[in-house]
Amino acid sequence: MSGKLKTSKSDLVDHLRHAILTQQLAPGADLDEMSLSAEWQLSRTPLRDVLRQLAGEGYVDIRQNRGARVAEMSHRTLRDFFLAAPMIYSAILRLAATNASDIQIAALKDAQKRFKETLRNGDIAARALANNHFHDITGQMAGNVYLLPSFQRLLIDHARISMTFFRPRDTETARNLDLASQQHDAIIAAIEAGDADAAGELATAHWNLSRDNIEHYVMPRGLDLPLGTTG
């Protein structure tokens, strides 16, 4: 941290989001409210406002009489992640193709440019955050008050999983990331054309690629037990 005073609640929100997504703050880690209050020059009330906002977004859990901690990634949450992700991603992209505004489409194209830049510089954290931003915009496009909170929670864990398991300078990962970027371009085209069916199909293909990437790094070689199954 620099010596610059940090007094803005919004700055602290952004800082904690970044630290959680990039696993600078590990899943399940306790948040030292006294240290945060002193470092960011915030009294208890605005600090609690920050933590409540982050809890509402799915970044932290607030436990009565035990303080706040970073949202966990347990066996149960990861199982739920793999079961729910394909359904939610598909619904979000179908709605995005139906509801997206021209301004949102322009923002999505800008986000894709940023994502491509991160592929060139090889920064895993920057790439995870850029991918998160791309998909967050599709969630805003969908405009569904019931789906959006679940989708944003998925994006948090997707970014954290990426930080944990994806390896830099791995040839297969590089190929898959290039394919993911191509799928991003196709998603933009489907949304811009208002083609909900194509967007839904791309959501499935994009999720399958992501799932395969994760399985490649979390499953021991020779162990054929696909994640995301209910059996």
Indicate the CATH number for domain 9-70: 1.10.10.10
Mean pLDDT of the chain: 87
Residue 163 is predicted with a pLDDT of 80
Task: Decide if pLDDT at 220 tops 70.
Answer: no
Q: Which residue has the higher pLDDT, 180 or 121?
A: 180
Residue 223 is predicted with a pLDDT of 42
Record the pTM: 0.83
Per-residue model confidence as pLDDT tens digits over 60-91: 999 887 889 999 988 888 889 989 999 999 99
**In this structure, is the dihedral angle defined by the CA atoms of residues 101, 107, 111 and 112, taken in order, positive or negative?**
positive
Task: Report the run of H or E that residue 68 belongs to, with start and end.
Answer: strand 67-70
Task: Decide if pLDDT at 218 tops 80.
Answer: no
Residue 136 is predicted with a pLDDT of 96
Task: Decide if pLDDT at 219 tops 70.
Answer: no
Task: Decide if pLDDT at 166 tops 70.
Answer: no
Q: How far apart are CA 25 and CA 105, in angstroms?
A: 32
Total residue count of the chain as it appears in this document? 231
Choice among 27-41, 75-89, 159-173, 201-215 with the minimum mean pLDDT: 159-173
Q: Which residue has the higher pLDDT, 73 or 7?
A: 73
Q: Where in the chain is the domain with CATH 1.10.10.10?
A: 9-70
* Confidence band, pLDDT 50/70/90 cuts, at residue 125: confident
Top-confidence range, 34-38, 194-198, 226-230: 194-198
Residue 67 is predicted with a pLDDT of 85
Residue 216 is predicted with a pLDDT of 63
Do the beta carbons of residue 100 and residue 87 sit within 8 Å? no
Residue 145 is predicted with a pLDDT of 95
Tell me yes or no: is domain 75-218 CATH 1.20.120.530.
yes
Task: Decide if pLDDT at 187 tops 70.
Answer: yes
Q: Two tokens at 13?
A: 């929100």
Q: Where in the chain is the domain with CATH 1.20.120.530?
A: 75-218
Task: Decide if pLDDT at 43 tops 70.
Answer: yes
Residue 76 is predicted with a pLDDT of 86
